[in-house]
């Protein structure tokens, strides 16, 4: 018998299921599965202002750089953060205006036209957007539009990530929901919380091992935006990236 | 109220003064204490040694001794033994296929309180000096026993009661919530690791400078006391180690009948 | 296929799951290693403190634990359904699913895949890069591959330290926890051909050395092997949760990615990540979130590996599943919180447990995987003082102390059936006597009559040395001198008159009831206190 059949039969037996094997090769469940309680928090009532504060605090705790700017200030801020880079890479679908004031060479990368990994290894920095960000854990979730292929935020040594204030949620379950709403459940995802780090030597945190050693997060607050509550209201707003 | 005392085997045989102190405290509060004479032991020694079949008659005896007795609450001066009633007795009964005993054991466990639980949650003792006349002018390093802390969730009940004893100052040793290394058969099956844990506990207690180490389980106190005494024997030049005294004895001590830290008390847990 | 199902025998796990010597023996040796104890205490204290702080931040921590434990119970209860759901989704996304009954089979599958996809280099060997994975350590994959001309390079800093030092991991999260910076520098200087001879001892410099050493490997190696923290049944998604970015390198850069995952590592739905991505980081490194988490579902053209495989590993898991109490150990998400809070682990380190799974969870999971009758692992369930710190810290609420006690019992039952019913050790004899004694208060009373004699015979300062098993106790602790009189005999002396009175009253009441019963009258209500609560909680609030 093949391994699959044997394992499925062993499981059926270990679970005490009796009866006939189905077409898949196991005895189907008859007893109801245990109930899963969902009493944990899945929503937040914090204001966007408070979410930005918490997010910035957590990022600083991870030794990530944090800047808070208006949409108009964004290109200058990005350029300033990139002043050590001669060249950068961006996802092909990134809003070019974000890097409009950067004086060096801008390479674009996409699934269709990927940059060779040697080029990425030599490039000065990468600039991306993010899908959603988790204030409580200082996490940026990279997947889908404006985030690029996974490799571009990994190999370069400096990552500048632009996070729209409206995309910040408070807690992890909200981010998981946002990613699903965005249709990204099966898309490759990277969650990054600060720069690469290790605690493997005497449990002392050292920033920068294999991933980018420098992470700068630029939080963009649209001045025209009314003070919105995170969660439903913020999520209900039109996604400003559509106009980008 | 009628309160049945479960003395526990170690207190009954080795530390009778702890049970007498428990009786004294409860009588001072105006309650009637009974002692169901069939009681013997909670069976933890057998259960934790993995001798479920041998534990069964011990568990059965305990349940029978207490389910027929005429009382409102049962109390034991031990977090570990009380925890065993709730967490282990039904398990043993079920293991032996005795569903009836399992449910009776659950009922007995539900009526049995650890002493600080009964005093605080049922009898409303918030000030030992005022309500019990407790007087004990010493610095006490408090050791919370693992099972009381983690299985019964006693929290600060014991140390809060000790804080309200006239003259008592309560301090916490470093790593106050670490196990002393007793663990019943653990100390016999893994004596070296147990000793390493005990050594750290003993050092932490001595570093507090307290004259007394108190807690809610005679077994842990016997272990710690044994370690303190042995250290004293090996290093006689150093200051006298803290005496180990069950918190019931501290609460029972008064100005009229003080608990004197005499040589016998100090000699490493020989607390008669 | 539709035959009548008759049940399969449970099969023990194989691989790096066995003790080489009894726990107390190795523990004693490890206790003598001052450097090890210093390193361990420093590291576990640091993690413990951080974890406590991060857990305390979450008001819904207990709710998350409840949900996490229940979600894992659903995985176990619906394992065939969820595995086949995962298989279908992973396959639909372009991945290939393999099934392995045991370590040998999993190793052979991985070897075949590597031989198909990694090129031969000039010395006739092949190379793969690896992300730290408990499953591949469990099956001894690196050793197996080495014997088959495949070099597996560990890329996690701690695993690299262990590999270069020809050592064994001692902790599932920080495998080189037993090494300090000076030792690590020496290991790097000896083991890295490209190490700078002026390498310092700062963790920053050591981490930098590993970055330089591995970068070229990441960029050029064609095959990577990983484990998985979670597999999502709903979507066929796999994940690796890590810190350094070596995991991202391995799951992103090579052409072929092979993931070895225990069958119990599933989660039912994507939503469960909202729970587990809070439980895991806070429990393991005491961080609000680990630096990097990767999630991938089969193949994404143009982004990441083109060939994506998963090997679903049994290796004793179905055996553990058959134990209706022990199966809770399969909830384990390998966070290592139980190790960091364990006073025994803190003093002995991970090597004393023999198995790749050390600490409290290892003491139950290892014998459950190999079978409780595996003599090698029979001392593991005793490697605990039952203090309960592990149960408190476990994010999926595995009742480790209770399982330890159950496994001790199972071990004794096996031993007794092998050796007949004769007790073997001094402890066995003592416990058998104690069981008889302690199952009746009257026997206790008789025994306690001997106390004045014991008091007389024992030295005033307490008992300092006893023979046999009791000697293990008196080697480092003095036993107090017994009292003159037990509480029981004091009580009966004090209450003799009272007791007589009570017995008389009871007899009268019984006679009265019998009289009433005979005369057909309603029995009088029992005199006594008001009905009492049988529920501790209710009583507390009253």
* CATH code of the domain in which A229 resides: 3.40.50.10420
The residues near C190 (Cβ < 8 Å, ≥ 6 apart) are C164
Residue B73 tokens read as 């609450």
B28 touches C: beta carbon within 8 Å:
no
| Choice among A168-182, C30-44, C293-307, C514-528 with the minimum mean pLDDT | C514-528
Residue B240 tokens read as 């006298």
* A68 in the same domain as A13: no
Q: At what angle do helices C273-284 and C61-77 cross, to 10 degrees?
A: 110
Q: Do B111 and B67 form a contact (C-beta atoms < 8 A)?
A: no
Question: pTM score, two decimals?
Answer: 0.91
**CB atoms B16 and C487 under 8 Å:** yes
Confidence of residue C459 (pLDDT cuts 50, 70, 90): confident
Rounded to whole angstroms, the Cα distance separating C345 from C204 reads 28
User: Residue C377 above 50 pLDDT?
Assistant: yes
| Choice among A36-40, C352-356, C416-420 with the minimum mean pLDDT | C416-420
* Residue-wise pLDDT tens digits, C170-197: 888 888 888 889 999 999 999 998 889 9
Q: Do C60 and A41 form a contact (C-beta atoms < 8 A)?
A: yes
Name beta bridge partners: C267.
Answer: C232
Averaged pLDDT of chain C: 88
In degrees, to the nearest 5, what angle opens at C-alpha B216 toward C-alphas B214 and B221?
60
Confidence of residue C235 (pLDDT cuts 50, 70, 90): very high
Q: What is the pLDDT of residue A236?
A: 38
Residue B126 tokens read as 């918030």
Rounded to whole angstroms, the Cα distance separating C153 from B182 reads 43
Q: Do C231 and C86 form a contact (C-beta atoms < 8 A)?
A: yes
User: Residue C13 above 90 pLDDT?
Assistant: no
Q: Do A197 and C291 form a contact (C-beta atoms < 8 A)?
A: yes
User: Residue C522 above 60 pLDDT?
Assistant: no
Confidence of residue C43 (pLDDT cuts 50, 70, 90): confident
Q: Render the burial of B113-137: b for 16+ CB within 10 Å, e for the rest.
A: bbbbbbbbbbbebeebbebbbbbbe
* A1 in the same domain as A98: no
Rounded to whole angstroms, the Cα distance separating C485 from A111 reads 85
* Residue-wise pLDDT tens digits, B36-80: 999 999 999 999 999 999 999 999 999 999 998 889 999 999 999
Looking at the structure, give the CATH architecture of the domain made up of residues B126-266: 3-Layer(aba) Sandwich (3.40)
Cα dihedral C183, C187, C190, C195 sign:
negative
Residue B118 tokens read as 């009964």
Q: What is the pLDDT of residue A238?
A: 39
- Chain B residue numbers with beta carbons less than 8 Å from the beta carbon of C488 are 7, 12, 35, 37
**CB atoms B49 and C533 under 8 Å:** no
* A57 in the same domain as A31: no
Strands B243-246 and C96-100: unpaired
Q: Do B201 and B181 form a contact (C-beta atoms < 8 A)?
A: yes
Residue A28 within any structural domain of the chain:
yes
Confidence of residue C422 (pLDDT cuts 50, 70, 90): low
**C45 SS3 class:** helix
* A74 in the same domain as A29: no
Q: What is the pLDDT of residue A235?
A: 39
User: Residue A155 above 60 pLDDT?
Assistant: yes
- Residue extents of the structural domains in chain C: 57-319, 426-486
Residue B256 tokens read as 């009229």
Residue B21 tokens read as 């102190």
Q: Do C129 and C254 form a contact (C-beta atoms < 8 A)?
A: yes
From the list B17, B50, B225, the residue facing C405 with the nearest CB is: B50
User: Residue A230 above 60 pLDDT?
Assistant: no
Q: How far is C141 from chain B (nearest CA, A)?
A: 32
Closest listed residue to residue A213, CA positions, set A56, A61, A62 = A62
* A175 in the same domain as A96: yes
Q: What is the pLDDT of residue C466?
A: 76
Give the other-Cβ count within 10 Å of A236's Cβ.
8
Q: CA distances (Å), A114 to each of A144, A150, A167, A187, C161, in order? A: 16, 11, 27, 17, 34
Q: Do C111 and C145 form a contact (C-beta atoms < 8 A)?
A: yes
**CB atoms C409 and B61 under 8 Å:** no
Mean pLDDT of C204-225: 93
- Chain A residue numbers with beta carbons less than 8 Å from the beta carbon of C163 are none
Mean pLDDT of A119-145: 97
Q: Which CATH code of 3.30.750.24, 3.40.50.10420, 3.40.1190.20, 3.30.300.10 fits the domain covering C57-319?
A: 3.40.50.10420
Give the other-Cβ count within 10 Å of C505's Cβ.
11
Rounded to whole angstroms, the Cα distance separating B171 from B142 reads 6
Q: What is the pLDDT of residue B264?
A: 61
* A59 in the same domain as A29: no
Residue A166 within any structural domain of the chain:
yes
Name beta bridge partners: C4.
Answer: A20
Q: CA distances (Å), C40 to each of A28, B183, B193, C454, C505, in order? A: 47, 22, 14, 43, 64
**A90 SS3 class:** strand
Radius of gyration (C-alpha) of chain A in whole angstroms: 22
Cα dihedral C409, C412, C417, C420 sign:
negative
3-state helix, strand, coil in chain C (%, to 5): 55, 10, 35
Q: Do B220 and B182 form a contact (C-beta atoms < 8 A)?
A: yes
Specify the number of domains making up chain A.
2
Selected residue with higher pLDDT from C426 and B227: B227
Under DSSP, the state recorded for C525 is: P
Mean pLDDT of A205-225: 87
Name beta bridge partners: C238.
Answer: C231, C296
**CB atoms C347 and B193 under 8 Å:** yes
The residues near C289 (Cβ < 8 Å, ≥ 6 apart) are A134, A137, A138, A139, A172, A191, A193, C277, C281
Indicate the length of chain B as a whole number. 272
Q: What is the pLDDT of residue C258?
A: 98
Residue A134 tokens read as 């988790």
Q: How many CA within 13 A on the CB side of residue C360? A: 32
Strands C150-154 and C126-130: parallel
Q: How far is C420 from chain A (nearest CA, A)?
A: 29
Name beta bridge partners: C240.
Answer: C294
From the list C27, C402, C460, the residue facing B192 with the nearest CB is: C27
The parts of chain B modelled with pLDDT lower than 70 are: 263-272
The residues near B272 (Cβ < 8 Å, ≥ 6 apart) are B16, B17, B264, C481, C483, C484
Q: What is the pLDDT of residue C538?
A: 37
Q: CA distances (Å), B13 to each of A169, B71, C445, C489, in order? A: 61, 24, 9, 10
Residue of C nearest to A64 (CA): C291
User: Residue C531 above 50 pLDDT?
Assistant: no
Residue A244 within any structural domain of the chain:
no
Residue A182 tokens read as 């965005």
Give which of C480, C494, C538 to mutate to test B binding, by max B Cβ within 10 Å: C480
- Residue extents of the structural domains in chain B: 2-119, 126-266
Give which of C399, C478, C499 to mutate to test B binding, by max B Cβ within 10 Å: C478
Mean pLDDT of A162-183: 98
Rounded to whole angstroms, the Cα distance separating B53 from C408 reads 12
C185 touches A: beta carbon within 8 Å:
no
Instruction: Give the dihedral of Cα atoms B80, B81, B86, B92; nearest 10 deg.
Output: 110
Confidence of residue C530 (pLDDT cuts 50, 70, 90): very low
The residues in B 40-79 lying below 8 A from C, measured between CB atoms, are: 40-41, 43, 45-52, 54-55, 57-58, 60-61, 65, 70, 72-73
* A140 in the same domain as A169: yes
Q: What is the pLDDT of residue C532?
A: 39
User: Residue A121 above 80 pLDDT?
Assistant: yes
Residue C1 burial (C-beta neighbours within 10 Å; 0-12, 13-18, 19+): exposed
Q: What is the pLDDT of residue C423?
A: 58
Instruction: Give the dihedral of Cα atoms B178, C328, C142, C235; nearest 10 deg.
Output: -120
Q: Which residue has the tokens 């940059």?
A: A115
* A100 in the same domain as A28: no
Q: Do C98 and C109 form a contact (C-beta atoms < 8 A)?
A: yes
H or E stretch covering C309: strand C307-313
Show the domain range for A114.
Answer: 48-237
Residue C362 tokens read as 């290892």
- Which chains have at least 3 CB atom pairs separated by less than 8 Å from chain C? A, B
Whether B and A touch (3+ CB pairs < 8 Å), yes or no = no
Residue A41 within any structural domain of the chain:
no
Closest listed residue to residue A109, CA positions, set A93, A97, A125, A122 = A93
Rounded to whole angstroms, the Cα distance separating C11 from C318 reads 7
Cα dihedral C107, C111, C113, C117 sign:
positive
User: Residue C537 above 50 pLDDT?
Assistant: no
| Choice among A51-65, C58-72, C314-328, C413-427 with the minimum mean pLDDT | C413-427
The residues near C395 (Cβ < 8 Å, ≥ 6 apart) are C64, C65, C68, C279, C280, C282, C283, C333, C335, C337
- Chain C residue numbers with beta carbons less than 8 Å from the beta carbon of B1 are 529
Residue B142 tokens read as 């408090």
Q: What is the pLDDT of residue A83?
A: 95
**CB atoms A24 and C312 under 8 Å:** no
Rounded to whole angstroms, the Cα distance separating C252 from A150 reads 7
- Which chains have at least 3 CB atom pairs separated by less than 8 Å from chain A? C
Q: What is the pLDDT of residue A240?
A: 39
Name beta bridge partners: C257.
Answer: C224, C308
C402 touches B: beta carbon within 8 Å:
yes
Q: What is the pLDDT of residue B263?
A: 62
Q: Do A170 and A135 form a contact (C-beta atoms < 8 A)?
A: yes
């Amino acid at each position: 018998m093949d391994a699959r059949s044997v394992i499925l039969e062993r499981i059926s037996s270990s679970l005490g299921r009796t009866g006939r094997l189905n077409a898949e090769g196991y005895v189907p469940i008859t007893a109801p599965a245990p109930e899963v309680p969902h009493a944990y928090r899945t929503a937040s009532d914090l204001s966007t202002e408070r979410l930005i504060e918490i997010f910035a605090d957590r990022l600083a705790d991870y030794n990530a750089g944090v800047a808070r700017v208006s949409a108009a200030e964004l290109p200058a801020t990005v350029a300033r953060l990139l002043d050590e880079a001669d060249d950068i890479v961006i996802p092909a679908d990134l809003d070019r205006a974000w890097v409009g004031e950067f004086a060096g060479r801008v390479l674009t990368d996409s699934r269709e036209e990927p940059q060779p990994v040697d080029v990425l290894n030599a490039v000065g920095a990468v600039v991306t957007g993010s899908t959603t960000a988790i204030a409580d854990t200082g996490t940026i979730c990279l997947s889908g539009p404006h985030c690029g292929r996974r490799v571009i935020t990994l190999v370069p040594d400096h990552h500048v990530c632009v996070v729209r204030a409206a995309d910040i949620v408070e807690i992890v379950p909200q981010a998981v929901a946002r990613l699903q709403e965005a249709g990204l459940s099966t898309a490759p995802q990277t969650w990054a919380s600060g720069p690469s780090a290790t605690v493997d030597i005497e449990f002392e945190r050292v920033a920068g091992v294999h991933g980018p050693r420098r992470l700068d997060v630029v939080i963009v607050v649209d001045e025209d935006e009314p003070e919105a509550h995170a969660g439903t209201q913020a999520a209900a707003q039109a996604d400003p990236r559509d106009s980008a | 109220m009628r309160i049945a005392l479960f003395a526990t085997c170690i207190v009954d045989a080795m530390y009778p003064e702890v049970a007498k102190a428990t009786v004294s405290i409860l009588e001072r509060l105006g309650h009637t204490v009974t002692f169901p004479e069939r009681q013997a032991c909670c069976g933890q020694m057998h259960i934790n040694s993995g001798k479920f079949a041998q534990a069964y008659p011990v568990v059965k005896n305990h349940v029978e001794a207490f389910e027929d007795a005429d009382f409102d609450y049962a109390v034991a001066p031990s977090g570990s033994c009380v925890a065993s009633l709730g967490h282990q007795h039904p398990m043993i009964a079920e293991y032996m296929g005795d569903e009836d005993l399992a449910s009776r054991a659950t009922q007995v466990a539900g009526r049995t309180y650890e002493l600080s639980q009964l005093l605080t949650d049922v009898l409303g003792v918030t000030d030992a000096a005022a309500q019990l006349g407790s007087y004990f002018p010493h610095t006490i390093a408090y050791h919370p026993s693992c099972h009381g802390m983690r299985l019964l969730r006693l929290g600060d009940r014991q140390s809060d009661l000790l804080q309200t004893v006239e003259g008592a100052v309560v301090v916490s040793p470093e790593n106050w919530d670490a196990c002393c290394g007793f663990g019943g058969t653990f100390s016999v099956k893994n004596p070296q690791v147990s000793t390493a844990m005990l050594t750290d506990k003993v050092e932490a207690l001595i570093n507090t400078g307290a004259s007394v180490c108190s807690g809610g389980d005679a077994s842990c106190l016997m272990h710690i006391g044994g370690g303190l005494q042995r250290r004293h024997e090996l290093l006689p030049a150093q200051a006298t180690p803290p005496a180990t005294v069950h918190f019931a004895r501290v609460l029972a001590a008064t100005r009229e009948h003080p608990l004197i830290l005499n040589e016998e008390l100090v000699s490493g847990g020989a607390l008669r | 296929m539709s035959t009548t199902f008759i049940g399969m025998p449970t099969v023990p796990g194989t691989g790096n799951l066995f003790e080489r010597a009894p726990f107390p023996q190795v523990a004693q040796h490890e206790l003598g290693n001052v450097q090890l104890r210093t390193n361990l205490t420093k590291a576990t204290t640091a993690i413990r403190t951080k974890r406590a702080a991060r857990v305390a931040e979450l008001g819904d921590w207990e709710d998350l634990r409840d949900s996490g434990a229940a979600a894992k119970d659903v995985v176990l209860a619906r394992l065939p359904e969820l595995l086949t759901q995962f298989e279908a989704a992973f396959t639909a996304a372009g991945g290939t699913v393999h099934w392995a009954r045991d370590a040998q089979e999993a190793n052979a599958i991985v070897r075949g895949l590597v031989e198909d996809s990694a090129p031969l280099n000039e010395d006739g060997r092949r190379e793969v890069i690896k992300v730290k994975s408990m499953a591949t350590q469990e099956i001894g994959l690196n050793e197996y591959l080495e014997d088959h001309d495949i070099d597996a390079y560990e890329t996690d800093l701690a695993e690299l330290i262990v590999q270069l030092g020809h050592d064994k991991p001692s902790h599932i999260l920080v495998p080189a926890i037993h090494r300090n910076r000076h030792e690590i520098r020496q290991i790097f200087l000896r083991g890295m051909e490209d190490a700078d001879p002026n390498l310092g001892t700062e963790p920053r410099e050591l981490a930098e050395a590993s970055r330089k050493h591995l970068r070229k490997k990441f960029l050029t190696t064609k095959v990577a092997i990983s484990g998985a923290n979670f597999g999502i049944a709903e979507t066929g998604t796999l994940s690796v949760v890590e810190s350094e970015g070596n995991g991202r390198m391995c799951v992103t850069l090579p052409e072929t990615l092979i993931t070895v995952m225990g069958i119990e590592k599933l989660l039912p739905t994507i939503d469960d990540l909202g729970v587990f991505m809070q439980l895991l980081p806070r429990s393991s490194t005491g961080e609000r979130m680990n630096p990097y988490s990767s999630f991938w579902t089969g193949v994404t053209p143009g982004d990441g590996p083109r060939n994506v495989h998963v090997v679903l590993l049994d290796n004793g898991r179905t055996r553990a599943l058959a134990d209706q109490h022990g199966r809770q150990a399969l909830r384990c998400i390998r966070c290592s919180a139980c190790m960091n809070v364990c006073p025994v682990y803190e003093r002995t380190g991970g090597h004393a447990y023999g198995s790749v799974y050390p600490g409290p969870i290892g003491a139950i999971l290892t014998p459950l995987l190999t079978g409780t009758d595996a003599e090698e692992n029979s001392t593991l369930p005793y490697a605990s003082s039952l203090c309960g710190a592990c149960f408190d810290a476990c994010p999926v609420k595995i009742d480790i102390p209770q399982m330890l006690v159950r496994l001790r019992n199972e071990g004794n039952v096996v031993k007794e059936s092998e050796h007949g019913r004769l007790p073997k050790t001094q402890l066995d004899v003592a416990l058998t006597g104690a069981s008889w004694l302690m199952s009746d208060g009257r026997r206790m009373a008789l025994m306690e009559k001997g106390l004045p004699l014991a008091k007389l015979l024992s030295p005033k300062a307490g008992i300092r040395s006893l023979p046999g098993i009791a000697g293990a106790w008196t080697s480092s602790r003095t036993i107090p001198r017994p009292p003159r009189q037990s509480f029981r005999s004091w009580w009966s002396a004090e209450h003799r008159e009272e007791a007589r009175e009570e017995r008389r009253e009871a007899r009268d009441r019984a006679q009265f009831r019998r009289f009433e019963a005979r005369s057909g009258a309603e029995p009088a209500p029992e005199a006594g206190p008001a009905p009492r609560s049988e529920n501790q909680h209710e009583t507390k609030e009253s």
